[in-house]
Amino acid sequence: MPAIIAGIFLGSVLLNGSVLSIYDPFFIPKNQKNLNLHSQILLTNDAFSLKSLFNNFHGKYVSSQSNHTAIGDIRVDVGSYIKGWGYIGYSYRKEAVIKSTSDSMKLLYQVSNNLDLTTDDHYDIFISLKGFETHGIEFSNTYPLYSDGIFDIQIGYGIELMIGTEGQNGYVTGYASAVSKTEYDFNLNSYYYYTQNYLYDYDVEYTSAYGFNTQLAMLFIYDNFTLKIVGNDVLGKLYWKNMPYSEVNLISENKSYDKNGYVKYSPAISGLESEQNVIQRLMPKWRFDTLYEIDEGFVQMGFDYIDDITLPYISYGHKINNSLMMKLSYEHYFGMFGLDLTYKHLKVGVSTNRFIDPSAAKVSVGYLYRY
């Protein structure tokens, strides 16, 4: 295995050179006593700036002729490789994928910012949400399948036992119409499993889940070229007991008006509220990654995939000295530029699509403690 590639794989503090927080069994150093700590947070939204999401949508809005996508992806891992057993560690995860029509986000932005509507405009409303929050125990290992000194094939696997503390799976569909500059009517239907209702105020009893997910990985190395395929949540499931479910209709009644004449609603809600035992299937995540070593650096290309969303990326890494490695990257879907620095056993990475008021950002921190 070439020196640069060996350094990336064996001493990079779970260095994931791409977008999503995909757990990769090949980034666990073996044959040494160590404690791996790694955390990553990814927040993206192609309709609003991140600041807008935390400020009642008062901020920058980017219109689109197609649908909008938002991803929230947080993962924390703390664990160690135990000889004869493999990697064992604790994991915390919180993930969400939101998809919507452009009309949905346009109306939400106009209403939140008291912007004048165009009379007789019609809005096609559709918003879907999938997500979960878990605590888990991770077990993983890797094994060589073939090696002749030039060509290597390795396989990796993992299983994660999880306790679910939050779950979301559902969608809202319907239509809205502007009846004046300050008023609109709507008729919406919701089909929604949840542990916390983000659509309307409705208190429910706390519920939790147990479950598991599996990871699969294949690594092919030929001379200076590396190909890697990693899958997470391939068979992932959470088993919820007495999970709240709503199948309701919301219509624009109970109107009131603010001092500027803009309408406010307490919508009329009718339908079914129940509790059900539910199997929530997690969204499989995949990574297809290639890496080619060039002198004291490498070029990396590939893509991550989740819920029919493909996130291509390209990066260049350079070994500055025996202690410091730098990597520059670009992610195409949300347009994020990134910088990752690995100094000895510490790794820090930052990616964003804009320096001021970004709509996509990622921060990762990792440390390899040897004892």
Q: Output the six-digit token pair for 177.
A: 């119409």
Residue that wins the pLDDT comparison between 256 and 185 = 185
Mean pLDDT for the stretch of residues 62-84: 88
Name the least confident of 62-71, 129-138, 215-224, 306-315: 62-71
Q: What percent of the chain has pLDDT over 70?
A: 94
Lowest mean pLDDT among 12-26, 67-81, 220-234: 12-26
Mean pLDDT over all residues of the chain?
Answer: 89
Give dist(CA 194, CA 99) in Å, integer. Answer: 17
> Which pairs with CB-CB distance under 8 Å and at least 24 residues apart come from 141-150?
141/25, 141/85, 141/86, 141/87, 142/25, 142/26, 142/28, 142/30, 142/217, 142/219, 150/222, 150/223
The pLDDT, as a whole number, for residue 263 is 67
pLDDT tens per residue, range 151-163: 999 999 999 999 9
130 alpha carbon, distance to own chain's centre: 11
> Domain 3-101+134-168+210-244+282-370 - what CATH class?
mainly beta
CA angle 354, 357, 363 (to 5 degrees): 65
Instruction: Show the tokens assigned to 302.
Output: 């590939």
The predicted-structure confidence for 94-124, as pLDDT tens digits, reads as follows 999 999 999 999 998 888 888 889 999 999 9
Q: Where are the domains of the chain?
A: 3-101+134-168+210-244+282-370
